[in-house]
């Protein structure tokens, strides 16, 4: 087989962070799967994005001139299918994003083979590939094995991997011509962008995070912990129940259905039990301090240091010592 094909995601002339994450996953799998790692840029001006794809482990950047200046699901599905067939890809990686969900399943249906969306982790085994997904509202993690499928298309959730280092030299580029005439009548007309409200935090970039869970008991206590986080120079995070209750905006949530603490060096988990979906977003952090009144809480299995105590007493001690 002929390696891994990554479909670069971009918006308004910039590569989406998930592209680098997909490349990081592909490079990690490269030795076991064999073949080159190729990144396809489907855009009206693909050359403008190619300079941002100089990652170690990428063997070739494929430039595809799209028929529309903005992202189009039909054009992306058609181009991806044509490219994957031409290079005889063994694995296709697409972001599980709003854009990726618009064309990824269509690609898998046309090409056949294995398919999984909303993938968290990918591993290569002697018997083929396997992908990890979440179920039951992110409370259960399960593995899907694809055996000897000649082609597997996977859509990966953003925030679960890191891009590789920059390449020392220039990554080879090649223009690939795709005939869009068969789908010309199906292309959409872009009307404009409607931006979501800006988030007040970016959990993925924070180096120190203090997350709160149901142990804080009431919404009225959120401001106390927000002030404490500010005093410690930490970003305020939370578990899913806190976000679902509306105590904090979704942007603060750490976990499978929230954000991953990608760059965090110190994580304080206050009143968080440690459900699977939350642990996935922070268990990799080098130093984790967990505070919970339940000495059997799962969070202690991931913690570097554990404190079996009331979170309010713990907060009292921090406030006293950081005056």
The answer on whether 239 is annotated among ligand-binding residues is yes
Domain-wise residue ranges, the chain:
4-186, 203-321
Is 216 assigned to a binding site? no
Q: Is 16 annotated as a binding residue?
A: no
Q: Is 271 annotated as a binding residue?
A: yes
Position 176 scores a pLDDT of 96
Asked whether residue 13 is marked as a ligand-binding residue, the answer is no
Q: Across the strands, what pairs with 145?
A: 130
- Give the pLDDT band (50/70/90) at residue 166: confident
Q: Is 275 annotated as a binding residue?
A: yes
- N-to-C CA span, the chain: 62
| Phi/psi-derived region of residue 178, left when phi > 0, alpha when psi is between -120 and 50, beta in every other case | beta
240 marked ligand binding residue: yes
At residue 160, does pLDDT exceed 80? no
Computed over every residue of the chain, the mean pLDDT equals 92
Q: Is the pTM of this model over 0.85?
A: no
Intrachain domains 4-186 and 203-321 with the same fold: yes
Cα 141 from chain centroid (whole Å): 16
CATH of segment(s) 4-186:
3.40.50.620
Determine if residue 61 is labeled as part of a ligand binding site: no
Is residue 272 marked as binding?
Answer: yes
What confidence tens digit (pLDDT) does each residue in 51-81 have?
899 899 999 999 999 999 999 999 999 999 9
The pLDDT tens digits of the residues spanning 43-54 come to 999 999 998 998
Position 196 scores a pLDDT of 74
Residue 292 counted as an annotated binding residue: yes
Give every CB contact of residue 189 below 8 A, 6+ residues apart in sequence. Answer: none
pLDDT in tens, 296-311: 999 999 999 999 999 9
203-321 topology per CATH:
Rossmann fold (3.40.50)
Q: List, as one string, the DSSP characters of 135-171.
A: ETTTTEEEEEE-TT-S-EEEEEPTTS----PBPSSPP
């Amino acid at each position: 087989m002929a390696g891994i094909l990554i479909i670069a995601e971009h918006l308004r002339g910039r590569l989406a962070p998930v592209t680098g994450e997909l490349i990081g996953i592909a490079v990690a799998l490269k030795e076991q799967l064999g073949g080159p790692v190729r990144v396809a840029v489907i855009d009206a001006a693909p050359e403008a994005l190619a300079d941002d794809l100089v990652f170690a482990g990428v063997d070739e950047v494929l430039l595809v001139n799209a028929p529309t200046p903005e992202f189009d699901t039909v054009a992306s599905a058609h181009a991806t299918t044509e490219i994957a067939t031409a290079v005889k890809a063994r694995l296709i990686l697409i972001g599980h994003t709003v854009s990726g969900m618009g064309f990824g399943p269509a690609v898998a249906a046309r090409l056949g083979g294995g398919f999984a969306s909303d993938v968290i982790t990918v591993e290569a085994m002697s018997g083929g590939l396997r992908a990890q997904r979440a179920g039951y509202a992110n409370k259960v993690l399960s593995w899907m094995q694809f055996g000897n499928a000649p082609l597997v298309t996977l859509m990966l959730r953003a925030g679960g991997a890191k891009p590789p280092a920059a390449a020392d030299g220039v990554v080879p580029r090649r223009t690939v011509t795709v005939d869009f005439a068969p789908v010309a009548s199906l292309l959409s007309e872009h009307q404009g962008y409607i931006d979501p409200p800006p988030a007040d935090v970016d959990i993925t970039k924070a180096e120190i995070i203090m997350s709160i869970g149901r142990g804080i008991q009431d919404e009225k206590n959120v401001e106390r912990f927000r002030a404490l986080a500010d005093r410690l120079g930490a970003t305020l995070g939370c578990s899913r129940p806190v976000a679902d209750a509306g105590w904090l905006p979704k942007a603060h949530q750490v976990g499978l259905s929230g954000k991953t603490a990608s760059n965090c060096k110190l994580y304080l988990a206050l009143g968080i039990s440690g459900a699977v979906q939350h642990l996935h977003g922070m268990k990799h952090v080098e130093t984790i301090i967990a505070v919970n009144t339940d000495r059997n809480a799962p969070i202690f299995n991931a913690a570097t240091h554990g404190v079996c105590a009331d979170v309010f007493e713990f907060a009292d001690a921090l406030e006293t010592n950081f005056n």
